[in-house]
Structure 1
Amino acid sequence: MRLLSLFLLTAAVPAMPAWAAADPGDSAQSTAALSDATQSGDQIVVTAGRTVQPLSEVGQSITIIDAKTIRTQQAVTPLELLRQVPGVSIAQNGGIGTTASVFIRGADSDQTVALIDGVKINDPSTPAGGFDFGSLLIGNIDRIEVLRGPSSVLWGSQAMGGVVNLITRQPTDHLAVNASAEGGSFGTAHGIANVSDKIGPLSASIGGGYFRTDGISAFDGGTERDGDKNYGANASFNLALTDAISIDLRGYYSHSRTDIDGFPPPNFVLADDAEYQVSRELIGYAGLNAALFDGHFRNRIGFSYTDTKTQDFDPTSDVELTFLGKGRNARIDYQGSVDIAPGIQATFGAEHEHSRFLAISSFDFPASPPPNHADIDSGYAQIVATPIKGLTLTGGARYDHHSRFGGKTSFAGSGVYSPNGGATTFRASYTEGFKVPSLYQLFSNYGNLALRPERSKGWDAGVTQKALDGRFEASATYFRRTSRNLIDFVSCFVAVPAPQCTDNAAGGFYDNIDRARSQGVEVTVALKPVDAFRVSASYTYLDARNLSAGAEGLRLARRPDNSITLNADYDWAFGLSTGATVTHVSGSWNDVGNTQRLQGYVLTGLRASYPIGRNLEVYGRIDNLFDVHYETATGYGQPGRAAYGGVRFSY
């Protein structure tokens, strides 16, 4: 809290004169900034610098999935879109609703910060403190920003691989209604609705959604279908007290019930069974925004709260509730942004985070250990400067103090330069990331209070070229990241057990024993020869290897070497829109020892939509057109050919 008090005192000091006022809603968590982003297409971002920032001034690698893309591709889950992002791969234990991981540039899924409207939603009750993307639906998500590379200077712990920011529909200045309903294969039904408006000083956006499917068997060789039911709600309010002061209130709720397959007796191998999982997630945010000195000094103080609960049930077990996990995060933070001089802007802030968890497995019942907790106090600062036309330089630092192991300092710097007004752009960045040990790794039966933070250092460099009056754009980026102090489980049931295994009743513990390196190339091409026709492609080469003792040179699990995505869309003169997506993912290894091979696959999808009047649109799609059989995790199935159709209403 000392850091927070220091920055709050700083906020009271008058800002230096500036010459270019900015939007009072400058913070990446303010409703005004989120609204600007959702309406901008690919012109501005809010994740890279935690402020509203033109994409042309960002030196790090970032991909924007805007509302038009989400609508065009008829996506139901973010995973469908994230697998198309350069440098990103996914793995899932079955169909929709089952556990899913997102790997950015080879980093573990638990080393990715997940945000909803700028609020961190990683779950402290999971073993490594990550976020499960499996139960997340697109619903009323209107935009996704994917920041690639270590990003802990601004986003703190876990941002070793990157950041995924999911932005929901924001309030509008006029009445807007959006709704859709669809159905199709596997007994699937899906509906969402959202309404937004402004009445006097109050702007609001409220929505909800429901999804159900009979699904497929999570076990690839099974016959029993594993279904999913999910419902959720989103709300965002902004109250303008004056032209310079406003209050934001936001909430997000999700509840799901997913059938899963496990390892039933007597064989204890993956097979059909009656297990299911119930998950609930609640996110709340309240913030006060104040713009001083004609908008040159922008301030935000906010409080965010996340509450997750996961329960696993096995009706055939003597103990039906086989797992209970509860995780809570409470965070208070201040962020300021000031125009120091022409072309120079500083962003700074402080955070205090309190995390708690409770995790009990069937082995622990009926015992009920108390929740355990930890605190992190953080302070950060970043300066963005444009010394000459076309050149933007960014540098920043962060300090974090963890209540269990002490302090950690991170640094980052980047630059972007265009000598010809944006036709050619050069980008480069050096960034650092860290991840504190999860509460489970510290306090569970396998916990180790001597754990140190995981660390990563990364850099990338690339060039983007535009031609044909912006109708052609190509980019290429090389990246490299090294990680150390990675936390892994050490079993005491080995030939040479560790000294810590003496009197270790749990049979193992967590320790900082691993190292890794990832490097590769990302290439994207976009072409729009005529207004009605758009084609884009992305390619990633990834070399992700284990550098740990005894496993040097082995490939990291579930990280494919090559991935390619091709999208093509055409708008016909009579109103019909058609499109196709082809995705190729090469083979990879399912396990650390590189003994279980995951075969590569190619997926093809078709889509079409047709307007009926001004407000209605009918649409349909076919996923996995050629009914390809594939796995992203050994033993777990993925959906075959499927067809869906629906109707959209917008006003």
Structure 2
Amino acid sequence: MRTKTVLLASVLVSATALSPLAAQAQSQSQAQDDTAYDPSIAYAEAMPAAADPGAIVVVATGIPIDIAETGQPVSVIGLDEIESVQGPDLTRVLQRLPGTAISRNGGLGSFTGVRVRGASSEQLLVLIDGVKVNDVAAPGGGFDFGNVLAGDIERIELLRGPNSVVWGSDAMGGVMNLSSRVADGLFASGEYGSHDTVYATLGGGVRTGALEAGISGSYMDSDGYSAASVGTEKDGFRQWQVTGRARYALADGFALVANARYADGKVGQDGYPAPLYAFADTHDVQDTKEKSGRVGFEYLGDALTLRGGYARSQTERVYSGESYVWYENGVYATDGRADRAELFGQYRLAGPIRLDFGADREWTRFEDEGATRKARTASGHAMLGFYTPVATLAAGARYDDHSLFGGEWTFGANGAVRFAADLRLRASYGEGFKAPSLYQLYSLYYGDLGLQPETSKGFDVGLEKGSRAESFFAAVSLFRRDSRNLIDFDLTNYVYYNIGRARAQGAELELAARPSDRWRTGLVYSYTEAKDRTVGGLYEGNDLNRRPRHALTASVDWATPLGVELGADARLVGDAFDDRGEFVRLDGYEAVDLRASVPVGPVELYGRVENLFDAGYETTAGYNTGGRGAYVGARVRM
């Protein structure tokens, strides 16, 4: 514990010692000519003007646009909100997004899946700084949010619903882009709390002239608690990660860009030891290394915008312990890698008419037990749009040529109409597809080369009043998504197979209000009904597993006259089933978090209590969730 405390203190002391240098650099930056080229501003200025800079997103078309220019449902969470929630657990922020359901196999660092509008966690395409990071070596090819620490993230974009027209495979249920942090100066934070948990973040950056660059690093070490609800042995988590991105303008309208991320973590797990092979305490360990990066360019012309680059993501996992005695040396290792060359573009044809287009080529590779499997995909898409301040309409198509399945067409369309300055009606139709993962196809014991891609068709309509940048915002959405050829695991024949059809439908409500400069409130409610609709199937009519029908998150923040800021989040989740047969029920739960912060000179002191009333619940049957926990910390930004 003493080592953790020393580490925590050194981060804050180092940052404070650098504050005079940071202040001097900031002063020099402010003294520069106001007309100096700011690449981030220039990129946004090439797009139609947005009332709220935070409303510029890339998940809709691959090119930055204002949310008001798309009829698709998109939500954004910025740095101020991420910091106000506090802590390393990103899922505590994600639960503020409409349509999301989260499940975790134990404590922090354990596998964490995010389901959007009743889709499986593997059907959410996840990008970090625009790089696809879904693990191609994972059984379902999804992304594990347990390996992302919140301190290195400054922005979250979520598009809810299929969008394979722009992003291709994996974008069946939605698209999420996490942007790493780039600061103008230095920042640092550190906290300590329950389960002997230490978490520290340190980073810095510059935004001067033609250069925008930043780097940050985080470290976390926690003793944790037993992953198995029947166990007593602590399953700890240790991780460090580094992220960085840069942008350099060679000339007006042309810039080079690059980003990179490396995360190294180790988490304790529980398993199924001999001779009973029942879920219990074990000394299983999962070591994970995640690497991703991209180099590219951005061109901003009067009529033409281009964004291109080459990206790579790689996830290496090593599993060891009692549950892996059947493997050579008691170790099972996987290595998944995806390389992608891509180009996104937008051409302003005439007046309000624009053409969005793109092409990419992707190579994926999966290794385990000495065998290597590969696949490749070549794709192209185009979307023609009509954009005015009153109405927008866009429609397009995509063609993917997969080395194993041949061609696949997907279509999409969206539009919006503004009835008044603060009232907007939007609607969208989107198709999605997901190719079987290389594990599902080639796994030595469970694979099936006869699997077909999963496909989906989704409809959405919504009404919005106000803006997220204003004092009041309200939105209601209705959606439905029909899916075919869903892939599941056959517990009788022990093989993956296409099971048939499913439908997810429901409604979402968003409310946000700022009654005064001192108060900020928000509420997100989602109703999702996700059912198996396979005619004649064993589970026809059953709810899909781990999809609660009801989920609500309410938040309130108050800046007191004394300078202390107080806040609370309440999360209410309804019942669900852990299995497709509806034999194991996951009871609903209510969890409340309290938080407070106060500035003391250049330092902000903060603290929180998670799960205030010590609610006992499970998001995955048989796995523990953390009880009540308390944390205190400090942060400084210079």
Under a length normalisation based on structure 2, what TM-score does the superposition of the two structures give?
Answer: 0.89
Instruction: Decide which of 305, 312, 331 is 1:305's aligned counterpart.
Output: 312
CA distance in 2, matches of 1:398, 1:49: 12
CA distance in 2, matches of 1:532, 1:300: 41
CA distance in 2, matches of 1:343, 1:627: 55
What code does the residue aligned with 1:299 have?
L
For residues 54-69 of structure 1, the aligned pairs below 5 Å read 54-69=66-81
- The answer as to whether partners of 1:34 and 1:117 remain within 8 angstroms in 2 is no
For residues 411-430 of structure 1, the aligned pairs below 5 Å read 411-421=411-421, 423-430=422-429
Q: 1:24 to 1:529 in 2, by over 3 A?
A: closer
What code does the residue aligned with 1:516 have?
A
**Once structures 1 and 2 are overlaid, which stretch shifts more, 38-47 or 267-276?**
38-47
Deviations, residues 428-470 of structure 1 (Å, cap 9, x unaligned): 1110000011111122223222222110000011111239994
CA distance in 1, matches of 2:323, 2:353: 64
Q: 1:355 to 1:412 in 2, by over 3 A?
A: same
1:642 deviates by 0.4
Corresponding position: 1:647 with 2:630: no
Corresponding position: 1:169 with 2:181: yes
CA distance in 2, matches of 1:517, 1:572: 47
1:528 deviates by 1.6
Corresponding position: 1:251 with 2:260: yes
Instruction: Decide which of 271, 292, 304 is 1:283's aligned counterpart.
Output: 292
1:490 deviates by 3.3
Instruction: Decide which of 234, 238, 249 is 2:243's aligned counterpart.
Output: 234
What code does the residue aligned with 1:206 have?
I
CA distance in 2, matches of 1:273, 1:542: 36
The 3-state SS of whatever aligns with 1:419 is: strand
Q: 1:25 to 1:595 in 2, by over 3 A?
A: farther
The 3-state SS of whatever aligns with 2:420 is: coil
The 3-state SS of whatever aligns with 2:318 is: strand
CA distance in 2, matches of 1:47, 1:469: 19
The 3-state SS of whatever aligns with 1:450 is: coil
Corresponding position: 1:444 with 2:432: no
Q: 1:158 to 1:227 in 2, by over 3 A?
A: same
For residues 368-447 of structure 1, the aligned pairs below 5 Å read 368=370, 370-386=371-387, 388-421=388-421, 423-445=422-444, 446-447=446-447
Find runs of 4+ consecutive structure 1 residues off by over 3 angstroms.
Answer: 23-27, 30-42, 198-202, 315-322, 466-470
1:199 deviates by 5.9
CA distance in 2, matches of 1:193, 1:39: 32
Structure 2: where are the runs of 5+ without partners?
1-36
Q: 1:90 to 1:316 in 2, by over 3 A?
A: closer
Instruction: Decide which of 127, 137, 144 is 1:115's aligned counterpart.
Output: 127
Q: 1:34 to 1:353 in 2, by over 3 A?
A: farther
CA distance in 1, matches of 2:167, 2:272: 38
- The answer as to whether partners of 1:625 and 1:641 remain within 8 angstroms in 2 is yes
- The answer as to whether partners of 1:26 and 1:337 remain within 8 angstroms in 2 is no
Q: How many residues align?
A: 597
Structure 2 residue aligned with 1:186: 195
The 3-state SS of whatever aligns with 1:440 is: helix
CA distance in 1, matches of 2:402, 2:224: 43
- The answer as to whether partners of 1:488 and 1:514 remain within 8 angstroms in 2 is no
Deviations, residues 333-367 of structure 1 (Å, cap 9, x unaligned): 1222112122222211110000000133xxxxxxx
Structure 1: where are the runs of 5+ without partners?
1-22, 361-367, 494-506
CA distance in 1, matches of 2:303, 2:43: 18
Structure 1 residue aligned with 2:613: 626
Structure 2 residue aligned with 1:515: 501
- The answer as to whether partners of 2:377 and 2:401 remain within 8 angstroms in 1 is yes
Q: 1:124 to 1:37 in 2, by over 3 A?
A: farther
The 3-state SS of whatever aligns with 1:371 is: strand
1:75 deviates by 3.9
1:396 deviates by 1.6
**Once structures 1 and 2 are overlaid, which stretch shifts more, 238-247 or 434-443?**
238-247
- The answer as to whether partners of 1:355 and 1:375 remain within 8 angstroms in 2 is yes
1:542 deviates by 0.9
What code does the residue aligned with 2:275 have?
P
CA distance in 1, matches of 2:140, 2:382: 28
Q: 1:440 to 1:257 in 2, by over 3 A?
A: same
Q: 1:279 to 1:33 in 2, by over 3 A?
A: farther
Under a length normalisation based on structure 1, what TM-score does the superposition of the two structures give?
Answer: 0.88
Identity score, percent: 38
Instruction: Decide which of 24, 49, 64 is 1:52's aligned counterpart.
Output: 64
CA distance in 2, matches of 1:314, 1:34: 54
Q: 1:34 to 1:535 in 2, by over 3 A?
A: farther
- The answer as to whether partners of 2:282 and 2:322 remain within 8 angstroms in 1 is no
Structure 2 residue aligned with 1:496: none
Instruction: Decide which of 549, 558, 576 is 1:570's aligned counterpart.
Output: 558
